[in-house]
Structure 1
Amino acid sequence: MLKDLPFFVKQLLAFAVVMVMILVTGAVGHFGMQRISDQVHQLDAFFPVVDVANEIKVTVAKEQRILMDILAVASPAELSELKRQTAANHSRVAALFTALQEGREGDRPIVALKNPDQRAAVDQARRIFFQKITPEVDRAVDLAGKRFAGEPVPAKEIAELDAGVDRQATRLFTDLDKLEDFIYRDIDHISTETRKTITTGDRLLLVATVGAAAVAVGISFLLATVLSRLINKTIAFAENLAEGDFSSSLEIEQRDEFGRLADAVNRLRSDLRRSFLAISRDATGLRLTANELNAVSESMVANADTTSDKSSMVAAATEEMSANMHSVAA
């Protein structure tokens, strides 16, 4: 079927195949880069989780400092300021935990935690802060108020409160450290996958490029080979015609330009053969006619010689008769 298509169409098809291979190469590169870009964005979203966890640690440490200030507060006005700082600190911690659970902190996107272990670590740290540390801070405020009211506050109770908050803060830090370990593990996994993607993409791109080049070279070689073979075949046939060999024909079983050229050359060979045969027959006829004319000419020459001899004999006889008549007259 392909051999019957016009040669120009074959060239277009070859060009289309090469273009498809080039597009495939470009697609491989594009999708590889897109995947790498997605993985880099994932990494960009993971690092803020670590930042938020560290900020929670800083805020909890600030809560411990505020607790120490509350236990040592010197005036009700100072206590009111510390209570305001505590409320602001609690709001900030709540916002940070919400950011970890929902995957967004203001306009900054972070990874929403879907791993059960990660969410469990965050939930545990949140419970420790709001169910263990916050009540102890409120209790410290009450103890400071009692102290300002003149009520006795046992030093042992204050020490136990401070130690209890420290223990709970340590547990909270441990849970956040676990969260960071999980996040760094995910970051390492994504980094490994990114390196694998880059390696695989490079290999696929190399294979696609080499494949496209091989296909392009193969198609070019095939077209050049077919074209050269047809041209050489036509040249050999034309040389045979030039040498007077009209017995063969140009066999090209195609319906493209070369097939039409072969049909035209074969028709030319047939026409030339018929013309030369006609000329040969006419030449033979002329030769036979010339031979006949030559024979007639020779016959006419022979007849002329005979007539001349007879005329001489008649003339001699006439002269002899004339002499005899003169003799008689005398």
Structure 2
Amino acid sequence: METILEVKNLGKTFPIRNFIGRTKGGVSAVDRVSFSLGAQGTLGIVGESGCGKSTLARLLMRLIEPDTGEVNYRDRNILSLSGGPLKEVRRQIQMVFQNPYSSLDPQMTVLDNVAFSLWANGSGKAEARQAAYEYLDAVGLSRTHADRMPGSLSGGQRQRVAIARALILKPEIVIADEAVSALDKSVQAQVLNLFQDLKKEFALSLIFISHDLHVVEYMSDEVMVMYLGRVVEKGPTERIFGNPAHPYTRALLASAPSLDVEHAGSGAPALAGELPSPLNPPSGCRFRTRCPLATERCARETPALTEVGPGHQAACLLIEESKSA
């Protein structure tokens, strides 16, 4: 599979300032994150709230500027671009946010919300509106919805509008940041199936961010697991869910609700304890304070991602030890 997006050692620390404006530390939100996305593939990014998933998405879009690293789209580091070249890349990488109501203009009709992206990129209003009708149809909304205001739509309908607005620029990559988490389960299923259909119809590559493991498993070809800003495991979906290597991944899977009676209660213990503060993360392995397998070495050393299978890596000192034994 052709690689179209490659991220290398991306990092972002937000400074913490006191009441007189002096820096007194920082929050390491994303720490040396690397991954790649193949053409027409789907990468699922999963982890608890506060693990850095949404910050990573905003770094990829340059809504936030990273401190370190590279984001290479078709061999061009978009972090070095500005002006026209950056604008063109942004047409190719679009984002669907968690809350569609806050990302839509409540004073504009549904049609004009979708058409606006084309206006902003120089298209005439008549041309943009005609295209907007076509993309509303593609996401399952009729012309009767086009003249309505976003506030009169259901949550699922608003999310469809947000998806149409992202697609109208004909991007190659769509980043969906918790795009179904605010929806009812039945509506979630409809929107997830819509994403799958649109991926095929428009030859899209997806980065699908969610805290819901079942959603990630359904949507993704590959999965990346994050914990306190770091990648702890990544690999093909079937390996991550069928043979997880990192204690955190195993605990997440054990904590997820399951309808599989045969496997209920089996496997690793469920995730316990509170997520440490990102203001003062644990030394060494950041998961060690919640890990039942932690040793003294885990407090001293930061584990690197280690190959555990074809295309499958995990960052755990116990894995490193077993490899060297």
Question: TM tier, shorter chain?
Answer: under 0.3
TM-score (norm 1): 0.19
| The structure with more strand, counted as a fraction of residues | 2
Which has the larger helix fraction? 1
Structure number with the bigger relative contact order (C-alpha 8 A, sep ≥ 6) is 1
- TM-score, normalization: structure 2? 0.19
Look at both structures and tell me which one has the larger radius of gyration over its CA atoms: 1
